[in-house]
Amino acid sequence: MKRFIYYLFPLLALTFTACGGSENDDLDDPSQPSEPAKPKITELSFTTTVQTRALPEVLTELKNGSQMSIFVTFSNNSTNTIMSKAICSNDLWTASPSIELTAGVNASFQAVYPYSSSNTSASAIPVSVANQIDYLYSNGTATVSKAFPTASVTMHHAMSVFAFNIDKKGYTGNGKLQEVKLSGDGFFTEGNLNVGTGTISGTAKGEYAKSFNETLQAGGFTSNIPAMFVIPSNSNGSNYQITIKVDGKEYTATLPKQSVSGGTKYLFRMALTERDLIVFPELTDVVSLNADSDDMPERELSALQVTHTNKKMNVPVVGGSDGMFGKIYWGDGQSEDYKSKASHTYAEEGTHTIAIESWGAQEVTMESLSGVTEIDLSKF
């Protein structure tokens, strides 16, 4: 027995030396109990899904590294709400710094994307058209607890999307679209988002111009339709103006009357002629943001010119399909929307050429040829 102990002690001494300890080190002394590991805290976490959208500007998912603001209220202190940053890692969102959950206390929170230190109130998140951001909100609250620490949150789109499909059938230039600008006393450039309801209240009006590098096509775009985020605000048929810059020249029109809601895409169809930008009010579509292409309905441009020497001239009568409309250019710098009974008195006598551009026209009638020297129907 003594011989056995004699050989064991040197072996143990060699073992302690190899681990870097000493005979008096309590951590390496098997007679001392090891310090228990600190229990891992239970922290608030959540996963997200985003409504599926297909426009290039619209988010379909929030990726790892994304940041958002969360507004947290605890059941034992329901009058106090804290704002914290949440970061996505491995498809799971956690607060930074972490928010510890304790037994018997629920934590309810709302979320808004993206994170900003300016997001101090869940009822007034600053938004700006100039940022062209797809602001997302959680709509209502999610609740977690120590027993159920992870919530599932669906994020919704707060902004509206305006898309513009422009037919260049009546335009003979290169058709390089360089800019789209929105303005008018109904157009808001800034607002406040309420995370609980998703509504945005406009706070500042002005104009916003977005650059593009697209080429207009006969028949309109079938993909990559120019679009931009806008703050929801109803168009009354006169308070939203659109100005496009094509080949260095600007063309302006008024967007039609339209109720504009958040999270919705509005597709405005129009055509560029040699003289004007024409909007087709009846072809405006309110569509799902899942649609990123558009088959523009066929609308034929009919143009005629009448040269005359009359001091007062009645417009030729143009007839066609339901919904036909057009514009009259009197030849002296004056123009107006087409009406079958329109007439015009010239300030100066002489030779003038009336041009009528119409959409959906099928026939034309001249009630009188008095003073008419030429009728050009080559493009009718």
Distance, in Å, from the CA atom of 86 to the CA atom of 64, rounded to the nearest integer, reads 11
Single-letter residue type at 125: I
152 with 194: CB under 8 angstroms? no
Both 118 and 193 in one domain: the answer is no
Tell me: do 267 and 317 sit in the same domain: no
36 domain-assigned: no
CATH number at residue 52: 2.60.40.2620
Are 22 and 93 within one domain?
no
CB 306 within 8 A of CB 375: yes
Average pLDDT over residues 321-339: 80
Per-residue pLDDT tens digits for 70-89: 999 999 998 899 999 999 99
CA distances from 87 to 83, 240, 244 (A): 13, 38, 39
Write out pLDDT tens, residues 27-63.
Answer: 445 555 566 555 568 999 999 988 655 566 788 889 9
Q: Which domain holds residue 361?
A: 301-379
How far is C-alpha 104 from the geometric centre of its chain's CA atoms?
41
Domain boundary among 287, 319, 343: 287
- Residue 182 and residue 84 share a domain: no
371 inside domain: yes
Q: Which residue has the tokens 């008195």?
A: 345
Q: pLDDT at residue 21 above 60?
A: no
283/165 same-domain check: yes
pLDDT for 167-226, tens place per residue? 998 899 999 999 999 999 999 999 999 999 999 999 999 999 999 999 999 999 988 899
Round the average pLDDT of the chain to a whole number and report it: 84
Q: Are 168 and 197 found together in one domain? A: yes
Token code pair at residue 183:
């303005």
Same domain, 151 and 165: no
pLDDT for position 377: 80
Last residue of a domain, one of 264, 287, 310: 287
Q: Cα(229)–Cα(190) distance, rounded to whole angstroms?
A: 12
Q: Answer whether residue 129 is part of any domain.
A: yes
Q: Is residue 37 part of a domain?
A: no
- Are residues 342 and 275 located together in one domain of the fold? no
Q: What is the pLDDT of residue 369?
A: 85
- Asked if 229 contacts 132 with a C-beta cutoff of 8 angstroms, the reply is yes
| Model confidence, pTM | 0.72
Question: Do 63 and 133 belong to one domain?
Answer: yes
Q: Is residue 114 part of a domain?
A: yes
Nearest Cα neighbor of 247 from 175, 171, 179, 181 is: 175
Question: Which region among 12-26, 167-181, 250-264, 339-353 has the lowest average model confidence (pLDDT)?
Answer: 12-26
Residue 38 in any domain: the answer is: no
Residue 292 lies in a domain: no
Query: Do 145 and 205 share a structural domain?
Result: no
Q: Assess if residue 119 is contained within a domain.
A: yes
Q: Total structural domains in the chain? A: 4
For residues 267 and 167, membership in a common domain is answered with yes
Strand 265-273 relative to strand 160-170: parallel, antiparallel, unpaired? parallel
